[in-house]
Structures are given as structure tokens and as C-alpha cells.
Amino acid sequence: MDDLIADFVAECREMLEALGGEIIAWEAQPDNRERLDNIFRFVHTVKGNCGFFDFPRLEALSHAAEDALADVRSGHRVADHALVSAVLGVIDRIGEFIEIIARGEEIPAGSDRALIAALAAPGDAAHESEAPAPVEPVQGEGDTPSTHQAQAPRTIRLSVELLDRVMSGVSDMVLARNELSRRLREAPEDVEVAGAFERLSSIIAEMRDAITQTRMQRIENLFVGLPRLVRDLSTDLGKQVMIDIDGGDVELDREMIEMIRDPLTHIIRNAVDHGIEKPADRLAKDKREIGMLRVAARQSGNQILIDIIDDGAGIDAERLVEKALQNGVINAAQRDSMTEAQKLQLIFAPGLSTAREVTSVSGRGVGMDVVRSNIEKIGGVVDVESTVGEGTCMTLRVPLTLTIMPALTVSIAGQHFAIPRTAIVEIVRANGHSVKLETVGGAGVATIRGQRMPRVTLSDLLDLPSDMADEDRTLVLLRPTGRDIYALAVDRIHDHEELVVKPAAPAVMGTGLYAGTTLADDGSPILLFDAAGLASVGGIRFDNAAAAGANDEDQQVAANDDFADMLVFHAIDGTRRAVHLALVDRIEEVEAGAVRFAAGRTRVQIGERILPLAGIADPKELDGSKLRVFRLTDGDQEIGYAFDRVVDQLKLDHEVIAADTPGEVAGVALLGDEPAELIDVHWLFADLIGAATVRSTARPRCRLPAGDPWIQHMLRPMVEAAGYEIISGSDGDAVPDLVIMSEDEEDVPAASARKLVIRARPDGSADSIYRYDRAGLMLALKNGVA
């Protein structure tokens, strides 16, 4: 019986978490039957279990709520504000009883007459005295118990401590795999051992992904109670506030969700209480009577960002400064040197509040300092942006906690650091002929193949001793989320590997430079950089830093450099090859099943695109589950090129020996100490794309008869493949270049348009074409394109 009660309590808690938002949404849309059914199903489940476990008080309460909701379901009542408030009250009381049961205590004796009476219809005294009729279980529309059971996933309850142990074990496996990988690189190559190691790495990666998901939870479990919170606050304060929630599908560690629940709640209470004005005040400011509160979550690298945005009065930074001076938080000299962002950060100073009156909700200056302290304890930060009269945006930046992510290890002055691979665009040697370094207005600028960008030297940023000259360093080009590219100069780069990342200490995270801490394969600690934080601390202003001091002459020199950057790789068959780096748009990893032979050639599906694929002749040759693909672009179109692994990025500064015949390989040259075949990308595009695909913006237009099914369904694909833009007679002033007509059509084409008549039988006039004369049709269409 104890196990059954524990399952009952756990089930009720899960349902209660989701129910608060459902009821608020149901009040806004009373005709939403699905939400009504969800609420009804909960109280009916509680009532049924109470009869089994002998909880009479809880059973009577849930039974009364079930009767009221049944009247709404049958159309006898309307879900008004009073009924919704009564149902919310009953749900709260049920939640209290569930917690009492969870503690192993007896539900205290007492009466819930007031709650039950609130559920009754107004003026319906008989309704209160009638014995409620038993209600049979009602499934959702179109559902049956059997289909409901079939669709339910299999679940099992595990302790968080056990999940922590399993996750820690997987993390140790990843570190051990990294160490083994390093030792294999140092040892003589053994093909069989390398193959076994690749299989082991694949298994560990799959296990890592599965175990990581067990600790992750959709952040909607954090957001689900916010509509109820905002509704209750609005009612108490006499305000009208609408909440919009986005990003509920973002996943975060379960414990992290609990740690940020209170800080998030406090920020929202402040926003409703002091941020959003009362309806009369909003109307006087030409605002909508109803205030808007938006809560949105998104993932950025190894962090989760939660924005809380209101359209209220905003934070008066100058008033904050005055309060801080009065309370001795800052002095006059500090005030004069503070930026706008630093002034807004005073909101987190203990005992400091700009509220003009203290309410039961907030305004005592106690809380915001605790909010920041709690967020910093878990390695996060709180950012504030506000405009007086327009609103405030607070952003919680919290780590994903224990996670495994791909990263590049670099070093400066003998100290190692890691950079998230998702932020890396390219790696370039600073002494390359296509790279120019200069200092403009005291700021570093790098020009790479004609593109100018800000440059940050890591040794200067971290104040570490380094005697390496600027031109001997390596530039790592980074693109933070939503920002432009900048160059980070490091002493050396080492290797790409997967690292186990954990939150760093609050003091470390407070510098703004780091996103967490990790361990190298030899067990030494490494700090993980935050690409956006590096740019911010380095003083980069993306709006104008990249363009500082630019001139056409410098760009011309870099653009005409004779030395090309080449990406050296091993092809599928093991051949050492190279391709121009500028033509590689990105590297994708796809499932082997995404490669198929179709329409006369090998093709690969990447996302929603199907690209011609070179580098592999027969998809049956693939023996693994994954395939790496270069996405090559000519600026207009794309093709794929399958490969095994990237070796290095080198300069092509030796003589190229041309191939004897045109083909996929343009020639061979020394790259590093070994020869490599150079890919002829022009030949690949000509072979894979050809002249058949016309992507010009000035395509010829063709008008087809809308009422002829054969022309629309069979001929139209041929016309589009030949490069025509299909228009209809309703396209306004669009004048067709070609008009295709059936032989019985009487429509007269435009004077400037060619006419092509399609006949249904082989015999006919010389000025028409038989519908299945494919050669004749293609010739006529080709003449139009040419």
C-alpha cells in the first residue's frame, strides 16, 4: 500500500504542475474542450483514487469539483471568473492534501464547505443539497482507453542520486576516451585498433546522449505555474497583465530548474508590481490598458538564456544612483564614472529599491540582491536593460550544468583553455600571405582575404606573459550567437575533442570571460571561454570596429594574394586531398541513410535540401552510421563532397602539377611535407550542376493553361526543369515569353510571346508538337531558354 500511495502522490504532483497554466488558459478560452477535459480528468482521477485509499475529505472536494466541471462539459454552465477562481481554490487545497499525504500524515479533520459552495451555480441552492450523481470516466474526443494506453510511453522512476552517479560515470568514460585517443595518435598507426576505437567512440557518444537526456527536463515545467502567478498578482494589485511564454521546449538540467524557480518568480513579481502600471496610468501614457509580460527561453552555446520583458515604466537609473548615494553604496567619484549599465546593476545592491511605496508583494529592497546571489551560486549572471517609460528586460544566463560539448583546446603562455566548437568559424595562421594585421586607434584589426574584423590578443586580455610576436600567433575566428566575426589571437592550437563542462565558481563566471570549467584528457583543469564574453571584455564594438580604418587599397592587396588557404583532408578511400578553404561553406555530419542514388547520381539530404554528392560513387560503400560532408558553394548553388576526416589547414605555396585529363582532380602539389591531390571544384560544379539548372533572376516566363490536367501535372515539371518561371493569366502585367496551349484552346497569346501548341495525337499540323515527342518538346523549350 505504501508503494501505491507513493505512486499516487507522484502522479498527482506531475499533473498539478501542468494544471495551473491549463486553468488560466481555459478561462481565456472557455470553449476549449481539450483543456476542460484535462482539468476534469485530473479531479476525476483524484476522486477515484481517494475512494480506494480512504481519503473521504479529499474525495468529497474532488467530487464537488468534478460535478461543477461536468455541468460545464454538458453545456449547463459557463466557465466565468467566479467558477475558475473556485476551481483554482479547490486545486490548491488538493495540492495541500497531497503534500500532507506525502509526509505520511493523516489529512486533518475539517470542512471544505466554503470551497464546495463556491463551486455551485449562483442562486442554485438545490444544487448544493443534491447528492452528486456518479460520473463515468470520459475520454478526450476521439480517444478510447485502449488507444490512450497504447500511446503512453513506458516510464520508470529513478532517484536523482542514481542519475548523478551514472552521468558521472559517462563523463569519466569520455575523459578516458580522450586520453586513449591522444595515446593512439602518439603510437604507430594500427588500422584494426583505430577501427575498434572508432566503434567504441560511437557507442560512448550514443550512451552519452541518452544519459544526458535523463537529467534534462523541458523548461516548460518551470513556466507552467507563471500564468497562475501573474493572474493572482494582477487581481490583488488591480492591474491587467497578459503573459506570453516562449521557448518551453528548451531543455535544462532538472536541478537547475529548481534552483532558478525562486529568482524567476521574484523578478516576475517585481515586474507586475512595480514595472507594469495600473490601467488608468497606462491609458494616460498612450499605452494599451493591458500590460504585456513576456518570458522567453533560448539556448546559446553552453548557456540557457531566460528573458523577462515587460512594457511597464522601466527603471529610473538616475534615481537608483541617488538612492545608492544616500545609502552609502557608492560615492560621488564612482557615480561620475559609471556607465548606464553599471547604474542599472545597482538594482541588485542590498537594501536598494526605487519603489515609491511598499506593498505586500515587494518594494522593501530585499530580494533582488538575493536573486543575483542565487543565480551566481549556480554559475550564472543577471543582465538588465531598461528604458524609462518603455519597459525592462532582465536576462538570466544560467549554465546547462554538467554537459559534454565539442571544443577546441588552445594555449597562451603555457596555459590551456577551451573554446566551444559551435562558435568557431575558421582557424588561420597570422603569418599567412592573405592575412594583414594592424592597429587602428589603439584597437587590433585583422584583414583576412579582404575581410576586415576586430582582433583580440588573448595574452593581452588575460594579462599573461607571452614573448610570441603577433605574426607568429594563430587566429581563431569566432562568431558569437547573433554577432559578427572577430579574430582571437592565441599562441597555439591543439586539438578538437569532447569535454565534460561544469559551472565554474561564481567569481570566475563573474569575469564574463568563461562559460564553465572542464578537464583535459590528462586530468588537468581547463577553463571554457564564452565567445561573446571575450568580445565584450575585449572592448569590441561590432557596429563599427570591423570597419575602422578600412581602405580599398589594403583590401585589394589581400584579395589578390597569390597564396591560397587549402583544407587538407582524407577522402573516403584514404587519399590525401585538398580543397580551397574559401569554397567550403561548412562541414556537416549526416546519417549514412541520408545518402542515396537518385535521378542518375548520388545525392545527400541535409536538412530540407537535397544536394548532389561527390567523393563517393556508390552509397553501398558506406559501412558506418555517420558521414562527413563538405558543403561547397559558388555563392549561388551548393554541392556536397564526402570525406573521411580533416587533416590540417595549409598554404598552397608550391608548384601545382596539373592532371593529364580534366576531372575531379585538378593536379597534385606539396602541402606540408606530403603531396595532396587538389580538387577541381569548377569541374565538380560543371559536372554535378551543369547547364540544365537555371537559377538566373531573369528567367523566361511561360504561361500554361490552368484547366488542362496533363499539361499541369506532366508537362509543367519539364518546363520548370528547363528554367522557365510559370505564370498564370491572373498575374497582372507579367508578359510571357512562351505560351503553351492545347490544340483546342482559343486563347490568343501576347504579341511578343512564342506559341507552342500541344496535340493529343501523333498526326497533326507541322506547327504543333505531339505530347509524347520528348525530343521535340525539349528542343522547343531549350530554344526558349537560350
70 torsion bin: left (phi>0), alpha (psi -120 to 50), beta (else): alpha
For the chain, give every domain's residue range.
2-138, 163-215, 220-399, 403-557, 563-688, 701-785
Contact assessment for residue 443 and residue 434, using Cβ atoms and an 8 Å cutoff: no
Mean pLDDT of 746-758: 72
Query: 121 burial class (0-12, 13-18, 19+ CB within 10 angstroms)?
Result: middle
Band the pLDDT of 766: cuts 50, 70, 90. low
Report the alpha-carbon distance of residue 42 to residue 163 in Å, rounded: 29
Q: Where are the beta strands (DSSP E) in 584-625?
A: 584-591, 595-598, 601-606, 609-614
Over residues 623-658, the pLDDT tens digits come to 666 788 888 887 678 899 998 888 877 777 667 888
CB atoms within 10 A of CB 171: 22
Q: What is the pLDDT of residues 294-344, one digit of tens each?
A: 999 887 766 788 999 999 989 888 888 888 888 777 888 878 878 888 888
In whole angstroms, what is the distance from residue 76 CA to residue 753 CA? 67
φ, ψ at 194 (rounded to 5°): -60, -40
Q: Quote the pLDDT of residue 186.
A: 76
Per-residue pLDDT tens digits for 494-529:
877 777 677 677 677 677 788 778 776 666 778 888
In this structure, which long-range contacts are made by residues 665-668, counting pairs with CB atoms below 8 Å and at least 24 apart in sequence?
Answer: 665/577
**Tens-place pLDDT, residues 702-712:** 888 877 788 88
Distance CA(380)–CA(189), nearest Å, equals: 44
DSSP label at residue 572: T
Query: Could you tell me how many residues make up the chain?
Result: 786
User: Please, which residues bridge with residue 437 across strands?
Assistant: 446
Rounded CA gap, 708 and 758, in Å?
11
Q: Which CATH number fits domain 220-399: 3.40.1180.10, 3.30.1330.10, 3.30.2450.30, 3.30.565.10?
A: 3.30.565.10
CA-derived radius of gyration, the chain: 34
Give yes or no for a contact between 440 and 549, defined as CB atoms under 8 angstroms apart: yes
Summarize pLDDT for 4-61 with one digit per residue, the tens. 677 778 777 777 776 766 767 777 777 777 777 778 877 777 776 776 677 878 888 8
Mean pLDDT, residues 397-413 taken together: 75
Asked if 437 and 446 touch (Cβ cutoff 8 Å), the reply is: yes
Instruction: Count CB neighbours of 153 within 10 A.
Output: 4
> What is the pTM (predicted TM-score) of this model?
0.44
Indicate if the pLDDT at residue 263 is higher than 70.
yes
pLDDT at 146: 34
pLDDT of residue 426: 84
Q: How many CB atoms lie within 10 A of CB 479?
A: 18
Confidence check: pLDDT of 348 > 90: no
Of the candidates 707, 776, 781, the residue with the CA atom closest to the CA atom of residue 744? 707
Please state the φ and ψ torsions of residue 608, each to the nearest 5 degrees: -100, 10
Place of cell 508537362: 715
Grade residue 151 by pLDDT with cuts at 50, 70 and 90: very low
Look at 90-99, 346-355, 596-605 and tell me which has the smallest mean pLDDT: 346-355
Task: Decide which of 1.10.10.10, 3.40.640.10, 2.40.40.20, 1.20.120.160 is the CATH code for 2-138.
Answer: 1.20.120.160
Amino acid identity, position 168: S
Band (pLDDT 50/70/90 cuts) for residue 547 is: very low
Helix (H) or strand (E) holding 579, with range, is: strand 576-580
What dihedral do alpha carbons 313, 316, 320, 321 form, nearest 10°? 180
Give the C-alpha separation, 567 to 370, whole Å. Answer: 51
**Does residue 137 carry a pLDDT above 50?**
no
- On the CB side of 632, CA atoms within 13 Å amount to 25
User: What is the rounded CA–CA span in Å between residue 596 and residue 600?
Assistant: 10
Query: What confidence category does residue 677 fall into, taking pLDDT thresholds of 50, 70 and 90?
Result: very high
Is 160 in contact with 256 (CB distance < 8 Å)?
Answer: no
- DSSP-derived pairing of the beta strands 738-742 and 754-759: parallel
Average pLDDT over the chain, rounded to whole? Answer: 76
Fold of the CATH domain 563-688: OB fold (Dihydrolipoamide Acetyltransferase, E2P) (2.40.50)
Question: To 10 degrees, what angle do helices 160-186 and 191-215 make?
Answer: 160
The domain 403-557 belongs to what CATH superfamily?
SH3 Domains (2.30.30.40)
